[in-house]
Structure 1
Amino acid sequence: MCGRFALTARPAEVESAFGVAEVEDFPPRYNIAPTQAILTITGGVPRAPGANLPDRKAMLVRWGFIPAWAKNPGDLPLLINARSETAAEKAAFRAAMRHRRALVPATGFYEWRRQGRARAQPFWVRPRHGGVIAFAGLTETWCEPGGSEIDTGAILTTAASPDLADIHHRMPVVIQPENIARWLDCLHHEPRMVADLLAPPEPGFFEAVPVSEKVNKVANAGPEIQEPADPAAKPVVDNGPAGQLQLF
């Protein structure tokens, strides 16, 4: 799963990595949590035949997908993740997989490892060579009965790569730079044509750094939560991902 992640790259890095212009300035975010606003990149069809720059845009959405057909979001679970293996068939995500695929810029994510009855040990999982990466995402605009619209999104997950599977069996789907245009082009590439992109990255793409339990608390949002910690240290905050979604 992906229940917390970070985006500490500068807007210029995001613009360069995703081929999008005019990303609004934003501060480094070290502990992005469900229901908060997340940056997404959408679009992918060239502006005109022969154009080099795709018609992409950066937009903020609520992290917590609401299907367009939902009458009352309170009746649904908080859909922060979508299983990539079944998203194209699930009623909640089927339309978005066909028409509204997106990218979620990130510089890494957090995952928790449970061992028996011990409290969960958090890890900061980052690309080994640094930089900003692209999580596969889905977006949907939900219209509430009063007429206002809410842009929402979810992150697609897949089976963990072998080197991370001992921490957790799921991880975010990472879209590599050479596949970004194909993933975003919903006009010419239906879900079956991008299914091959929904696999885990090669072992060694990420490195996992044990960190302290500070990350468990949403209010802790500074760079100190990514500092390495002794994984054998006694936790002082409980639950990790098993209980964290109950906080939002």
Structure 2
Amino acid sequence: MCGRFAVTLPNEAMAQLFNAAPANDLPDVPNFNTCPTTQIHVVEPGARRLLRPMRWGFIPQWYDKPNGGPLLINARAETIAEKPAFRAACRARRCLIPCNGFYEWTKDPDGNRLPWYITRRDGAMMVFAGVWQDWGPDDNRMRTCAMVTIGANTPMRQIHHRMPVILEPENWGKWLGEEGHGAASLMRPSSDDVLQFHRVGTSVNSNRAQGPDLIQEIPAG
């Protein structure tokens, strides 16, 4: 799964990367500790792609308030087409969620949470498969999203048993529905050589922590 991530690429550069029109109310960057329920950068399809903010935390239409049920920040690829919360979005409302890296945690023998920072080996922007849903009354609609996860590949299983579905640039259009059918075939773990990870300090355990020090490598011992 993924519960925190970092975004450091400037908004204009991000829009250029996806050939997307940037919205005027994009979240501030850099953000080294992006947390659930906050606004995040999302790319959605259209006559021209749009880079826009969405609430990270998918809200099904039957929730009577944003916290009217479980917080849905991740959607399992294995069941996304069947779950009532996600099945319509999986067919018709897919999006891209960009970041520079994400965090996962292991535990030491004493139960202390040890954070790791995961990035692409090639240094490129990481792009997660996502789905979105509008929620709320017409005069106060909220666009919300979740990232799609899958069972972890071999290296990632050292840290966590699941990982986000990471899309390569040649598959962005297919996931967005710009190139016809076939998006389901993209819901798979990334190749074992795509990602790298290192231990970071426990400051990131606080959702209020910020700054580039959060992603700095520390000895893993």
Query: Fold-level match, TM-score > 0.5?
Result: yes
Q: Which amino acid aligns with 1:80?
A: I
Tell me which residue corresponds to 1:159. Answer: 151
Classify 1:198/1:109 alpha carbon distance in 2 versus 1 (closer, same or farther; 3 Å).
same
Kept in 2: contact 1:114–1:167 (CA 8 A): no
Aligned-partner Cα distance in 2 for 1:211–1:195:
34
Q: Which amino acid aligns with 2:19?
A: G
Tell me which residue corresponds to 2:98. Answer: 105
1:182 deviates by 0.8
* Matching of residue 202 in structure 1 with residue 191 in structure 2: yes
Tell me which residue corresponds to 2:180. Answer: 188
Once the two structures are superposed, what CA deviation does each residue of 1:132-183 show, in whole Å capped at 9, x if it has no partner?
Answer: 1211111111014x84211111111111110110100011111110011111
Kept in 2: contact 1:101–1:186 (CA 8 A): no
Which runs of structure 2 are paired with 1:119-198 in the superposition (5 Å)? Answer: 119-144=112-137, 147-185=139-177, 188-189=180-181, 193-198=182-187
1:111 deviates by 0.4
Tell me which residue corresponds to 2:53. Answer: 60
Q: Which amino acid aligns with 1:4?
A: R
1:86 deviates by 0.7
Tell me which residue corresponds to 1:240. Answer: none
Tell me which residue corresponds to 1:86. Answer: 79
Kept in 1: contact 2:40–2:56 (CA 8 A): yes
Kept in 2: contact 1:12–1:23 (CA 8 A): no
Any gaps of 5 or more consecutive residues in structure 2? none
Kept in 2: contact 1:63–1:153 (CA 8 A): yes
* Matching of residue 31 in structure 1 with residue 24 in structure 2: no
Q: Any idea what SS the aligned residue of 2:45 has?
A: strand
Kept in 1: contact 2:173–2:179 (CA 8 A): no
Tell me which residue corresponds to 2:9. Answer: 9
Q: Which amino acid aligns with 2:82?
A: E
Q: Any idea what SS the aligned residue of 1:207 has?
A: strand
Classify 1:187/1:208 alpha carbon distance in 2 versus 1 (closer, same or farther; 3 Å).
closer
Q: Which amino acid aligns with 1:179?
A: N
Tell me which residue corresponds to 1:243. Answer: none
Aligned-partner Cα distance in 1 for 2:160–2:122:
22
Q: Any idea what SS the aligned residue of 1:134 has?
A: strand
Which runs of structure 2 are paired with 1:210-225 in the superposition (5 Å)? Answer: 210-225=199-214
Aligned-partner Cα distance in 2 for 1:83–1:117:
30
Aligned-partner Cα distance in 1 for 2:128–2:213:
24
1:27 deviates by 2.0
1:222 deviates by 0.4
Between structure 1 and structure 2, the one with the greater Rg is 1
Percent identity (aligned): 38
Of 176-185 and 16-25, more deviation after overlay is shown by: 16-25
Tell me which residue corresponds to 1:52. Answer: none
Q: Which amino acid aligns with 2:140?
A: S
1:88 deviates by 1.1
Provide the aligned C-alpha RMSD in A.
Answer: 1.9
Q: Any idea what SS the aligned residue of 1:71 has?
A: coil
